[in-house]
Amino acid sequence: MTVEIRIQDDDSLEITGDLELIDAEGNAYKQHGKIRLCRCGASRTKPFCDDTHVQVNFESKVRA
């Protein structure tokens, strides 16, 4: 299955597909479906987005 990574304006990275998320200590977590990873650095549930980017007025519009 293809993994899709969508960079959302002023928001998180939305990742869809079956994947393995590996933290800095090498711990692996299987993920299925859709997850959102924090880009703003303010989430209280890192590495996942908890919508805190709205409160901190995160702005980023990345274009490939």
How many Cα atoms occupy the beta-carbon half-sphere of 12 within 13 Å? 20
Contact flag: residue 35 with ligand FES (CB under 6 A): no
| CB of 35 or CB of 43, closer to ligand FES | 43
Stretch that binds ligand FES, among 15-23, 25-33, 44-52 (CB under 6 A): 44-52
SS3 55: helix
Smallest gap from residue 40 Cβ to ligand FES (A): 3
Contact flag: residue 52 with ligand FES (CB under 6 A): yes
- Whether the CA torsion 35, 41, 44, 47 is positive or negative: it is positive
Instruction: Kindly state the tokens that stand for 30.
Output: 């299987």
Which residues sit at the interface with ligand FES, rule CB under 6 A?
A: 11-12, 38-40, 42-43, 49-53, 58
